[in-house]
């Protein structure tokens, strides 16, 4: 897709949260997958097609410039580096990485509900200290060189740290920046300084709609971020029709008039080969059942994902059916939050004598092997913004038995089967029906392979740019924010 009407416009994508995430986490979640894949498409187009829109990446600074440009290849470097190395490969030093390594070791020895928030807080604290040191150094340099007085030093700093945005450019917010201490203020200042418009992609409103599944600090931070950011955006997008409707309902609830309708964006169906390249030679996971002997659930272990429901379903299946007829259930993902009781129950039950197994933090190559070897996948989540594991399962040619909650029927369409995630009996009947009908499962699998048409990430990128070209004008940030409050 080529840019028309304003050839000089640049779309600046705020990727600060992408780097912060990989400073503390070894594997991407759905948000980082979407950002990486979409930007990969846009970067390829900008490089190969002279008429393509101009795309650039921005990170935050602690000086008056507010933002700085970073290269596209730094995204892949952050993805590969993980939490034990600097997320951006500029000036890496052993001294800088030792505190982070120590925090990672400390967090790994604690329960997930304590260790992971502690690690995130520590990483952000280190980043703040680095920014403070740079700011102090930049203040001291002009005076030491005799080239600027304290009165002229800020001007010198601004000139040295110029961010090459121009009036009419767009700041694209595609990730998860609600962890920023005051993102609304940063956005207001950047819009005013560079005369940019802002475009926001919303994933879900779970911390507002179902706060019982979230940590208290996330509920607080997310609420403040959304109230400060949403009014400033000329374009608001969502990753599903369900989320778009939720955002519009939220705006009505707080008395906010959006610049236009929230635009649903089609979401790509899988994580592509570019980001999987570092693990392309990895072997299939060890210690798992033979291919064809297990059902697969790909997700972080957290209360909202509803692993506890499947624990009860599988325990009941083993009580009602011969053991050899019940497939092993494989959980693939990291251990998250609000699952301490579940993990203790699984341990106490001996993981149903091995009929439930956990593969922590699988690589992309391991995930591909898990999908290839499973009979079917299960996704009992209680609330989703989209449902990448559902479409990803279908993209790998594997049937998916999914919850019918929120956006999940959009992700699975008529190729997935659905059950009530609040009803153990309904879930039990749905799983047992699959187990007792192997011929039907094979027919379902053949239909998925024959009929599923995965959404290409090119469509995601095109839809985002098309939504931004609507050229809506957001209301004045300060007035709109006060109205929202």
Report d(CA 351, CA 229) in Å as an integer.
Answer: 44
- Segment 281-308 mean pLDDT: 86
Residues 144 and 217 in one domain: yes
Percentage of the chain exceeding pLDDT 90: 62
Can you say whether residue 168 is alpha, beta or left, with left for phi > 0 and alpha for psi between -120 and 50 degrees? left
- Segment 266-275 mean pLDDT: 67
Q: Do the domain assignments include residue 1?
A: no
Read off the pLDDT of residues 219-255 as tens digits, 9 standing for 90 and up: 999 999 999 999 999 999 999 999 999 999 999 999 9
pLDDT averaged over every residue in the chain: 82
- Segment 291-309 mean pLDDT: 96
Per-residue buried b or exposed e for 117-129, using 16+ beta carbons within 10 Å of the residue's own CB: bebbebbbeebee
Residues 149 and 258 in one domain: yes
Can you say whether residue 23 is alpha, beta or left, with left for phi > 0 and alpha for psi between -120 and 50 degrees? alpha
For residue 107, is pLDDT > 80?
no
Residues 255 and 322 in one domain: no
306 burial class (0-12, 13-18, 19+ CB within 10 angstroms)? buried
For residue 351, is pLDDT > 90?
yes
Q: Do the domain assignments include residue 276?
A: no
Residues 252 and 290 in one domain: no
For residue 124, is pLDDT > 70?
no
Q: What is the pLDDT of residue 2?
A: 54
Q: What is the pLDDT of residue 92?
A: 29
Read off the pLDDT of residues 196-223 as tens digits, 9 standing for 90 and up: 999 999 999 999 999 999 989 999 999 9
pLDDT-wise least confident of 114-118, 302-306, 356-360 = 114-118
Residue 247's SS3 state is helix
- Segment 57-78 mean pLDDT: 90
Residues 315 and 396 in one domain: yes
Q: Are 16 and 59 in contact (CB under 8 A)?
A: yes
Could you tell me the sign of the dihedral formed by the alpha carbons of 77, 78, 80, 85, in that order?
positive
For residue 261, is pLDDT > 60?
yes
Any idea what the CATH number is for the domain that residue 293 is in? Answer: 3.40.50.2000
For residue 302, is pLDDT > 90?
yes
Residues 164 and 83 in one domain: yes
Confidence of residue 484 (pLDDT cuts 50, 70, 90): very low
Report d(CA 459, CA 82) in Å as an integer.
Answer: 29
Q: Do the domain assignments include residue 217?
A: yes
Residues 309 and 230 in one domain: no
Q: What is the pLDDT of residue 108?
A: 43
Q: Do the domain assignments include residue 4?
A: no
Q: Do the domain assignments include residue 205?
A: yes
Q: Which residue has the higher pLDDT, 220 or 79?
A: 220
- Segment 75-87 mean pLDDT: 65
Residues 253 and 349 in one domain: no
Per-residue buried b or exposed e for 137-162, using 16+ beta carbons within 10 Å of the residue's own CB: ebeeebeeeeebeeeebeebbeeebe
Q: How many CB atoms lie within 10 A of CB 42?
A: 28
Q: Do the domain assignments include residue 136?
A: yes
Residues 208 and 86 in one domain: yes
Task: Tell me the DSSP string of 334-367.
Answer: -B-SS-HHHHHHHHHTHHHHHTEEEE-S--HHHH
Residues 49 and 197 in one domain: yes
Number of folded domains in the chain?
Answer: 2
Location of structure tokens 């690690």: 119
Confidence of residue 189 (pLDDT cuts 50, 70, 90): very high
Domain carrying residue 341? 284-454
Nearest residue to 301 via CA among 109, 113, 60:
113
Confidence of residue 298 (pLDDT cuts 50, 70, 90): very high
Confidence of residue 475 (pLDDT cuts 50, 70, 90): low
Residues 390 and 473 in one domain: no
Q: Which residue has the higher pLDDT, 207 or 115?
A: 207
Q: Do the domain assignments include residue 3?
A: no
Residues 429 and 473 in one domain: no
Report d(CA 430, CA 409) in Å as an integer.
Answer: 16
For residue 330, is pLDDT > 50?
yes
Task: Tell me the DSSP string of 63-127.
Answer: STT-EEEE-THHHHHHHHHGGGS-SS-SS--HHHHHHHHHHHHHHHTS-HHHHHHHHHHHHHHHH
Q: What is the pLDDT of residue 120?
A: 55
Read off the pLDDT of residues 371-388 as tens digits, 9 standing for 90 and up: 999 999 999 999 999 999
For residue 126, is pLDDT > 80?
no
Q: Do the domain assignments include residue 367?
A: yes
For residue 334, is pLDDT > 50?
yes
Confidence of residue 118 (pLDDT cuts 50, 70, 90): low
Q: What is the pLDDT of residue 153?
A: 36
Q: What is the pLDDT of residue 121?
A: 58
Q: What is the pLDDT of residue 449?
A: 96
């Amino acid at each position: 897709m080529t840019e028309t009407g304003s050839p000089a416009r640049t779309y600046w994508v705020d990727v600060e949260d992408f780097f912060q995430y990989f400073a503390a986490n070894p594997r991407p979640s759905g948000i980082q997958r979407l950002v990486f894949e979409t930007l990969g498409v846009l970067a390829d187009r900008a490089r190969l097609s002279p008429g393509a829109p101009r795309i650039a990446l921005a990170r935050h600074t602690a000086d008056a410039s507010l933002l700085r440009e970073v290269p596209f290849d730094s995204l892949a470097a952050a993805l590969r580096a993980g939490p034990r190395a600097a997320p951006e490969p500029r000036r890496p030093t052993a001294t800088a990485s030792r505190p982070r390594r120590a925090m990672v070791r400390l967090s790994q020895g604690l329960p997930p509900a304590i260790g992971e928030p502690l690690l995130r807080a520590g990483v952000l604290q280190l980043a703040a200290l680095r920014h403070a040191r740079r700011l102090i150094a930049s203040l001291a340099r002009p005076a030491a060189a005799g080239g600027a007085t304290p009165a002229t030093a800020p001007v010198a700093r601004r000139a040295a740290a110029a961010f090459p945005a121009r009036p009419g450019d767009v700041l694209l917010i595609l990730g998860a920046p609600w962890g920023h201490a005051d993102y609304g203020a940063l956005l207001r200042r950047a819009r005013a300084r560079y005369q940019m418009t802002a475009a926001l992609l919303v994933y879900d409103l779970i911390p507002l709609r179902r706060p019982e599944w979230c940590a208290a600090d996330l509920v607080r931070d997310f609420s403040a971020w959304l109230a400060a950011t949403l009014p400033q955006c000329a374009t608001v997008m969502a990753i599903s029709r369900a989320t778009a409707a939720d955002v519009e309902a939220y705006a009505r609830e707080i008395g906010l008039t959006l610049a236009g309708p929230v635009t649903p964006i089609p979401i790509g169906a899988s994580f592509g080969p570019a980001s999987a390249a570092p693990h392309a030679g990895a072997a299939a996971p060890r210690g798992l059942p033979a291919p064809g002997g297990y059902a697969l659930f790909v997700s972080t272990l957290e209360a909202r994902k509803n692993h506890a429901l499947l624990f009860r379903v599988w325990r009941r299946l083993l009580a009602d059916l011969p053991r050899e007829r019940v497939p092993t259930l494989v959980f693939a993902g990291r251990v998250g939050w609000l699952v301490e009781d579940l993990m203790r129950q699984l341990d106490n039950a001996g993981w149903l004598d091995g009929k439930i197994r956990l593969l922590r933090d699988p690589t992309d190559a391991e995930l591909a092997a898990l999908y290839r070897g499973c009979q079917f996948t299960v996704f009992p989540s209680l609330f989703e913004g989209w449902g990448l594991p559902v479409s990803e399962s279908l993209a790998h040619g594997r049937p998916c038995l999914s919850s019918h909650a929120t956006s999940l029927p959009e992700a699975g369409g008529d190729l997935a089967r659905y059950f009530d995630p609040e009803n153990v009996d309904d879930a039990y009947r749905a799983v047992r029906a699959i187990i007792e009908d192997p011929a039907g499962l094979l027919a379902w699998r053949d239909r998925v392979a024959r009929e599923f048409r995965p959404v290409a990430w090119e469509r995601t990128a095109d839809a985002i740019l098309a939504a931004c070209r609507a050229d809506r004008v957001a209301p004045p940030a300060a007035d709109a924010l006060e109205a929202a409050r």
